[in-house]
């Protein structure tokens, strides 16, 4: 998953292209590059690492202000993060420059066809076949519009492509299949990019391209065509819906810490206008259009990846217990290839922070023609998943910059609580208590944030360990999984999350004095059960950090090497408070280990390839 951008206009094209790349760096930061036309000569500059490295490289060059430029920030799929594999890629005569997001699945086949036609390749990437293939057809037809379209039709896989060429120095060519691509319309310029944040700086309106569409964009004009049915596409531009992507860290050292400390506001924003304590009701405007369908479904399949998948696991417990609806949570990347019977009264619920995760999009596409109800819980407005689902609920967590998802998870679980209550009204004896407690949860979250210094001390004490076990039961089980993921993502410590009852069926073999356990043991209903599992850990000299409430502490006090006491809430709301604890623990552990917290190695914020 990479970020791509292009600008054609009267101004200096490098500036908006670099601004776009900085906003897209959450998509990948292995390398960055630009190509631009200056005095009719095309140049390309690439650098390994951050966009900032590219900016310093460009700052040292004497460039006459180009009016057209394209750019790329990379997350390596094919070929390691080197300058040679960085984009833009170009043809032998350096007259065609391409940036690409996605995977060309038939690149080897195309490469060998081109090599037998005497084309020479310099990189190990799949992308490099594109400029050579366009050149191949340009030699054949002598017309760039035709050459571009013909080449694109040869490609299999997922792609968003932006191309510029010496042969048409006033045009930017773009094409999309599965990977997101937009056109940004400005006063005296037009742009293309991976999402709204790429073009926002110089555009007032936006057009979302759909699959099998290509566009030829010039300073004042653009034309879109569907290259499958060869028809021209006339799509109305939309206002750019963009939350302030250039959010600053404020006084926080990292976006992750800032986003963790936004928890009270995040919960507040996700329930705002959706809970009415006077009438004891929940209002979800985004689902009202499908309310009748939803009330007749007999099964929900939740689809998601990573942290969103763990939010889905919490949702499973909530929807089954409160709304009495059978739920199955599936990894989107597995669902796509499963051959399971899907009854017509099954609803699909996709959960995604970015709304651009390719695995989740592909899973939703799988059921596109089955007429099943598809709803979404999404944080990014206007994203692909928000636009492809029948209805949904926005999380309103605001832009999440840090790669490790924190506030979006808390917003997703808050929204899942709302949906369970909305569908469970009149079905659950817990309804009133949960509704009332959810309304005051922002305040309770502040009390957990006040534990940060204690959590930091514990994290620093255990940061030298290279393995960690996370345990929990029922609502705390997904939190054990999420806690382990957060620690893995940003501290690079090997961490496993397990249902506490599962320990004795194998993982207990891992435990010794060098393999500490982080145990979530605040559940009013199950803390004694978890305590007995911790006895097993203690018996193997395992060190234990426990998260408890005043009431549950007594059962594990003697077993705990460290203890973090959180406020009492219903078990159903423990995931929201414990998310803050495990996020802070991971953050302070990573801080003590000096890793790159906001942009951890090998990861990216939005995974737009399968």
Interface ranges with ligand AGP (CB under 6 A): 305-308, 352-354, 357, 360, 403-405, 489, 606-607
Coil, helix or strand at residue 86: coil
First to last CA, the chain: 9
CB 521 to ligand AGP: min, Å: 24
CB 397 to ligand AGP: min, Å: 11
**Structural contact between residues 64 and 38, judged by C-beta atoms closer than 8 angstroms:** yes
CB 400 to ligand AGP: min, Å: 9
CB 489 to ligand AGP: min, Å: 5
The closest alpha carbon to 299, from 316, 313, 282, belongs to 316
- Nearer Cβ to ligand AGP (111/258): 258
- Nearer Cβ to ligand AGP (91/405): 405
Distance, in Å, from the CA atom of 398 to the CA atom of 242, rounded to the nearest integer, reads 10
CB 567 to ligand AGP: min, Å: 25
Run of H or E residues at 214: strand 213-217
- Nearer Cβ to ligand AGP (177/607): 607
- Nearer Cβ to ligand AGP (165/379): 379
Instruction: Quickly list H helices, 450-526.
Output: 452-462, 477-491
CB 478 to ligand AGP: min, Å: 13
Residue in the shown chain whose Cβ atom is closest to ligand AGP: 306
Look up 2 and say whether it is catalytic. yes
- Which residue is catalytic, options 171, 538, 599, 605? 605
CB 29 to ligand AGP: min, Å: 14
**DSSP 8-state symbol, 178:** B
Contacts of residue 447, defined as CB under 8 A and 6 or more positions apart, other chains included, come to: 566, 567
- Nearer Cβ to ligand AGP (207/597): 597
Q: Exposed, middle or buried, 328 (CB in 10 Å: 0-12/13-18/19+)? A: middle
Distance, in Å, from the CA atom of 145 to the CA atom of 499, rounded to the nearest integer, reads 57
- Nearer Cβ to ligand AGP (88/483): 483
- Nearer Cβ to ligand AGP (113/603): 603
Contacts of residue 436, defined as CB under 8 A and 6 or more positions apart, other chains included, come to: 277
CB 27 to ligand AGP: min, Å: 11
- Nearer Cβ to ligand AGP (167/249): 249
- Which residue is catalytic, options 2, 37, 395, 521? 2
- Nearer Cβ to ligand AGP (323/487): 487
Q: Which two tokens stand for residue 503?
A: 């320990």
Distance, in Å, from the CA atom of 134 to the CA atom of 253, rounded to the nearest integer, reads 46
What residues are paired with 517 via a beta bridge? Answer: 469, 544
CB 358 to ligand AGP: min, Å: 9
CB 409 to ligand AGP: min, Å: 8
Contacts of residue 258, defined as CB under 8 A and 6 or more positions apart, other chains included, come to: 249, 250, 252
Q: Which two tokens stand for residue 114?
A: 């081109």
The closest alpha carbon to 357, from 369, 346, 365, belongs to 365
Half-sphere exposure of 390 (CA within 13 A, CB side): 18
- Nearer Cβ to ligand AGP (352/533): 352
Q: Which two tokens stand for residue 215?
A: 């566009």
Torsion (CA) 483, 519, 550, 583 in degrees, nearest 10: -10
Distance, in Å, from the CA atom of 245 to the CA atom of 254, rounded to the nearest integer, reads 15
**DSSP 8-state symbol, 93:** T
- Nearer Cβ to ligand AGP (185/607): 607
Strands (E), 75-146: 89-90, 96-104
Distance, in Å, from the CA atom of 309 to the CA atom of 87, rounded to the nearest integer, reads 32
**Structural contact between residues 73 and 7, judged by C-beta atoms closer than 8 angstroms:** no
Residue in the structure block whose two tokens are 């790329």: 72
**Burial track 400-438 (b if 16+ CB lie within 10 A, e otherwise):** bbbbbbbbbbbbbbbbbbbbbbbbbeeebebbeebbebb
CB 380 to ligand AGP: min, Å: 8
Coil, helix or strand at residue 378: strand
Coil, helix or strand at residue 464: coil
Q: Return the sign of the alpha-carbon dihedral for residues 103, 19, 15, 188.
A: positive
Catalytic residue numbers read 2, 605
């Amino acid at each position: 998953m990479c970020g791509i951008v292009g600008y054609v206009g009267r101004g200096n094209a490098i500036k908006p292209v670099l601004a776009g790349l900085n906003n897209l760096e959450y998509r990948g930061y292995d390398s960055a590059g630009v190509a631009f036309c200056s005095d009719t000569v095309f140049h390309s500059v690439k650098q390994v690492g951050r966009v900032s490295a590219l900016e310093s490289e460009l700052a040292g060059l004497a460039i006459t202000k180009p009016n057209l430029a394209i750019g790329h920030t990379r997350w390596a799929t094919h070929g390691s993060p080197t300058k040679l594999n960085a984009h833009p890629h170009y043809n032998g005569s350096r007259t065609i420059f391409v940036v690409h997001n996605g995977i060309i699945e038939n690149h080897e086949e195309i490469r060998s066809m081109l090599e037998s036609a005497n084309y020479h390749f310099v990189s190990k990437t799949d992308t490099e076949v594109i400029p050579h293939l366009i050149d191949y057809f340009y030699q054949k037809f002598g017309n760039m519009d035709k050459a571009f379209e013909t080449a694109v039709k040869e490609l299999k896989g997922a792609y968003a492509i932006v191309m510029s060429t010496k042969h048409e120095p006033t045009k930017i060519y773009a094409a999309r299949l599965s990977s997101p691509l937009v056109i940004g319309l400005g006063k005296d310029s037009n742009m293309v990019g991976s999402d709204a944040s790429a073009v926002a700086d110089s555009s007032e309106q936006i057009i979302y391209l759909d699959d099998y569409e290509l566009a030829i964009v010039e300073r004042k004009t653009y034309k879109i065509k569907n290259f499958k049915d060869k028809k021209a596409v006339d799509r109305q531009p939309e206002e750019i819906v963009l939350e302030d992507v250039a959010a600053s860290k404020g006084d926080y050292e990292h976006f992750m810490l800032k986003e963790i400390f936004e928890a009270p506001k995040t919960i507040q924003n996700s329930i705002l206008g959706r809970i009415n304590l006077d009438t004891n009701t929940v209002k979800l405007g985004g689902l009202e259009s499908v309310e009748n369908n939803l009330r007749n479904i007999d099964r929900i399949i939740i689809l998601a990846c990573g942290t969103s998948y763990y939010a889905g696991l919490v949702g499973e417990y909530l929807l089954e217990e409160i709304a009495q609806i059978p739920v199955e949570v599936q990894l989107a990347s597995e669902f796509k290839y499963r051959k399971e019977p899907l009854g017509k009264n099954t609803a699909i619920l996709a959960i995604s922070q970015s709304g651009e995760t390719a695995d989740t999009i592909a899973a939703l596409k799988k059921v596109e023609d089955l007429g099943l109800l598809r709803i979404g819980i999404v944080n990014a407005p206007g994203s692909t998943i928000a636009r492809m689902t029948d209805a949904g609920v926005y999380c309103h967590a605001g832009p999440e910059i840090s790669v490790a998802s924190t506030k979006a998870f808390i917003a997703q679980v808050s929204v899942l609580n709302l949906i369970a209550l909305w569908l469970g009204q009149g079905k659950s004896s817990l309804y009133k208590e949960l509704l009332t407690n959810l309304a005051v949860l922002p305040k309770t979250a502040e009390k957990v944030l006040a534990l940060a210094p204690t959590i930091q001390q514990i994290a620093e004490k255990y940061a030298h360990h290279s393995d960690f076990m996370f345990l929990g039961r029922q609502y705390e089980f997904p939190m054990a999984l999420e806690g382990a993921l957060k620690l893995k993502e940003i501290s690079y410590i090997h961490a496993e999350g397990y249902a506490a009852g599962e320990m004795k069926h194998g993982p207990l073999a891992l435990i010794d004095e060098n393999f500490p356990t982080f145990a979530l043991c605040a559940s009013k209903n199950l803390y004694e059960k978890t305590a007995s599992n911790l006895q097993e850990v203690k018996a193997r000299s395992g060190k234990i950090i426990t998260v408890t409430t005043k009431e549950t502490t007594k059962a594990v006090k003697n077993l705990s090497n460290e203890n973090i006491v959180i406020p009492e809430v219903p078990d159903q709301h423990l995931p929201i408070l414990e998310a803050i604890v495990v996020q802070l623990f991971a953050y302070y552990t990573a801080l003590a280990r000096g890793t790159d917290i906001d942009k951890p190695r090998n990861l990216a914020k939005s995974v737009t390839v399968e």
